Amino acid sequence: MLEIAIMLEGQNGLTWPRWQKIVRLVEDAGFIGLFRSDHFTNGSPPDKESLELWTSLTWLAANTKRIEFGPLVSPVSFRHPSLTARMAAAVDDLSNGRLTLGLGAGWQEREHQLFGFDLLDIKDRFSRFEEGLQVVTGLLKSDTPISFDGKYFQLRQAVLLPRPQRHGGPRILVGGAGRKRTMPLAARYADEWNCIFIQPDSFAALSKYMDTLLAAENRDPGSLRRSMMTGCYFAKTENALREKISSRGLSFEELRGRGAIVGNAAQVREQLHELSEAGLQRVMLQWLDLDDLEGMEALAKAVL
């Protein structure tokens, strides 16, 4: 059965009151999890409020009992991977093993420039990303001190203490559909591979290609969860739905063509069924209107 989670764009005005209301709704409504972006600001003005990622996840871990959660995804360009591994292990322990640690290379130029982070060119960015994955997985999985001598990161007999309560630490998620760099990295280091805004037939083809990458790593295809983050345009009423669609400046058909989940309850269920038939195991539905709690609750009743 396809697992259904909610995904928020934190840079779109996420504050403590909004976050706390949404967390409680997702927990109570029955969604499998709640995931959020890790951005300092938007790709273009106007800037909006953006609650810091790890602080928000710590509150969620301590104030929920059931839902899974995590960053989708956290760039290694923002924090040293040793710090990320340390925080992730602690938050996972606090939640009794419900964190999925989504990691990425970073991509948004504006926030890197504004806050003084070095994004690097594409080639070096992915080289740094792979080093970050090596550091994070090494620290989480090794009970003995490890050393690492990379171009971007170095460790000298480092060990995480206390050790993660979950053996090997939280699950690692790598997001992206790039066949040359991102998907091979997911096959090598991740427990979950996440793609975005892809039609069912395209996903099925990519998933089949992932199987060949896993075979090259001597991994069982079943050892890697397949998930997708995609847009969701649903509302409690037909009028509200039309307003959401028109606010994007695209038609129903255009949004569907881009891989988004759009429509009334029956249409949304049909699209989710198609993704499930294509082999998708989990979908994170991007909920852009952080104040439309009635719509989110209606979505839960429609699809769960």
- Per-residue confidence (pLDDT) for residue 2, from 0 to 100: 96
Q: Which are the contacts of 300, defined by CB distance < 8 A and separation ≥ 6?
A: 29, 30, 31
Considering only CA atoms, give the Rg of the chain. Answer: 19
- Per-residue confidence (pLDDT) for residue 247, from 0 to 100: 86
Per-residue pLDDT tens over the stretch 187-199: 999 999 999 999 9
The residue ranges of the chain whose pLDDT is under 70 are none
3-state helix, strand, coil in the chain (%, to 5): 45, 20, 35
- Per-residue confidence (pLDDT) for residue 131, from 0 to 100: 98
What type of residue is 280?
Answer: L
Angstrom distances, CA of residue 85 to CA of 57, 70, 77, 80: 14, 13, 14, 9
Per-residue pLDDT tens over the stretch 132-149: 999 999 999 999 999 999
Cβ atoms of 178 and 149 within 8 Å: the answer is: no
Q: What is the largest CA-CA distance in the chain?
A: 60
Pairing of strands 154-158, 146-149: antiparallel
Angstrom distances, CA of residue 196 to CA of 83, 161, 174, 303: 27, 35, 12, 20
- Per-residue confidence (pLDDT) for residue 249, from 0 to 100: 86
- Per-residue confidence (pLDDT) for residue 29, from 0 to 100: 97
Query: What distance in Å separates the CA atoms of residue 198 and residue 275, rounded to the nearest whole number?
Result: 9
- Per-residue confidence (pLDDT) for residue 293, from 0 to 100: 97
Q: Which are the contacts of 207, defined by CB distance < 8 A and separation ≥ 6?
A: 226, 278, 279, 280
Residue 199 neighbours by CB distance under 10 Å: 17
Cβ atoms of 194 and 281 within 8 Å: the answer is: no
- Per-residue confidence (pLDDT) for residue 47, from 0 to 100: 94
Domains of the chain plus CATH, in order, are 3-303 (3.20.20.30)
